[in-house]
Amino acid sequence: MSNVAIRVEGLGKQYRIGAQQARYKRFSETMMDLLASPVRRLRQLGQPPPPEETIWALRDVSFEVGQGEVLGIIGRNGAGKSTLLKILSRITEPTEGYAELDGRVGSLLEVGTGFHPELTGRENIFLNGAILGMSKTEIDRNFDEIVAFAEVEQFIDTPVKRYSSGMFVRLAFAVAAHLETEILLVDEVLAVGDAAFQKKCLGKMGDVAQAGRTVLFVSHNMSAIARLCQDAIWLDAGKVRARGEVTEVIQNYLSEGVKEEASAEFVPKSNRAAQILSIELLTPDGTLATTHLANLPVRIRVRYRLSERISAYRVGLRIRLADGLDVMTTASSDVEGDLWTDDPGVYSATVEIPGLLLAPGQYFVTVFLGQPGVKVHDRHENVLAFRIEGRTKSLVERELGLIATPLHWEASRFAVEHSE
């Protein structure tokens, strides 16, 4: 596995900022510019634009990917992930730097590119396959498999404009998934179809990863990244922030921006009827803490102000996993079903998440205050992060699941076996 399949050296891509709003120019504008100041314009032609009008979407990016390696690329929106894939798939040129790819390159930046609504499913398979770079024989060979994977057998000769949106994306993904190139560049294409199909897609990508092909995989779905990739790169503002073992990079990425702090305060805004002032994570004895023992409860205290009398409101929390999965939502109306009604003032509400409920791992807290069905008055997403640590052996690993409640087992002899 020491062979390098992808080598990227000092790759950079510069965009004009102006190009973001008015993407193409009118010829008249260029002509007017030219007439207005011909000398300046002509001197500028062919020269790099002034730096204040440009932005580096990617800069100084260097890395290598070994043959057969599956590398995840994570980062916020606008961090340069898609730009990187576009450069590597040769859709756009880098401004500087250099990349070398060893093997046939297939890229899936979108599913269903080039699908034509008037054409039938069969026709679109061939068209889309050709667009993705498959030869006709290759498509012929995989045709039945594609149709079966997409589950559209009966409709294969129907124009795709009559397909449901689910059928459409299934077919589109199925074609794309059968690209047989040595290198595959994949950008967030798994978020298609219903949950069952997404699972199937993930399985298919898993097969691809197993097949010894080199894959660069961009996704916001951290659990998919963690499942498919061994290593990951974290892109931040166009630069490689970290590269390493996948779970470690994901942890670092996610815990950034969300302070792992035991409390958060919010700047009050005027003219709001109700707003959250602060949130605190406490141990049972009342001290602030970000790390909590699995067998002890976590107490969360929310302070809020009502500027006027609010009727039928509730305060709630959502506990979320690092990869975005919601573990639980709890609200002050949970148990009795009662909503609160209160006069103006500053209030404090506390909830206790019992011990031996959440499995060890990192959790993110979202807090909200609102009148159900009427209005959300205040809401703060992922404001705090805390960690549950297990001390007993059965609570050490996250693979055990999300819930750590010990359950009681019983065994009784059902039949007697004679071993002689």
What's 355's DSSP letter?
T
99 belongs to the binding site for another protein (CB under 8 A): yes
101 belongs to the binding site for another protein (CB under 8 A): yes
Choices 16-24, 337-345, 370-378, 407-415; region in contact with another protein by CB under 8 A? 16-24
Closest by CA position to 4, among listed 46, 63, 52: 63
Choices 97-105, 253-261, 297-305, 342-350; region in contact with another protein by CB under 8 A? 97-105
Q: What are phi and psi of 277, to 5 degrees?
A: -100, -40
3-state class (DSSP) for residue 221: coil
**Which amino acid would we find at residue 65?**
V
Cβ 176 to another protein, closest distance in Å?
10
DSSP per-residue letters across 103-166: S-EEEESSSSTT--TTSBHHHHHHHHHHHHT--HHHHHHHHHHHHHHHT-GGGTTSBGGGS-HH
355 belongs to the binding site for another protein (CB under 8 A): no
CB 144 within 8 A of CB 153: no
**Pairing verdict, β 214-218 and 183-187:** parallel
Cβ 228 to another protein, closest distance in Å?
22
Nearer to another protein, 19 or 402 (CB): 19
Site for another protein in 126-145 (CB under 8 A): 126-127, 130-133, 135-136
Nearer to another protein, 126 or 347 (CB): 126
95 belongs to the binding site for another protein (CB under 8 A): yes
Distances (CA, A) of 48 to 12, 30, 34, 182, 237: 14, 16, 17, 36, 21
Cα–Cα distance, 25 to 15 (Å, whole number) = 15
Site for another protein in 17-46 (CB under 8 A): 19, 23-28, 30
Cβ 139 to another protein, closest distance in Å?
9
3-state class (DSSP) for residue 88: helix
Site for another protein in 173-212 (CB under 8 A): 182
Q: What are phi and psi of 282, to 5 degrees?
A: -130, 150
Cβ 135 to another protein, closest distance in Å?
6
Cα–Cα distance, 382 to 270 (Å, whole number) = 23
87 belongs to the binding site for another protein (CB under 8 A): yes
List 116, 141, 375, 391, residue binding another protein (CB under 8 A): 116
Choices 87-95, 203-211, 266-274, 386-394; region in contact with another protein by CB under 8 A? 87-95
Cα–Cα distance, 104 to 347 (Å, whole number) = 63
Nearer to another protein, 35 or 335 (CB): 35
49 belongs to the binding site for another protein (CB under 8 A): no
3-state class (DSSP) for residue 279: strand
164 belongs to the binding site for another protein (CB under 8 A): no
Q: Which residues lie near another protein (CB under 8 A)?
A: 15, 19, 23-28, 30, 86-105, 107, 109-110, 113-114, 116, 118-119, 123, 126-127, 130-133, 135-136, 182
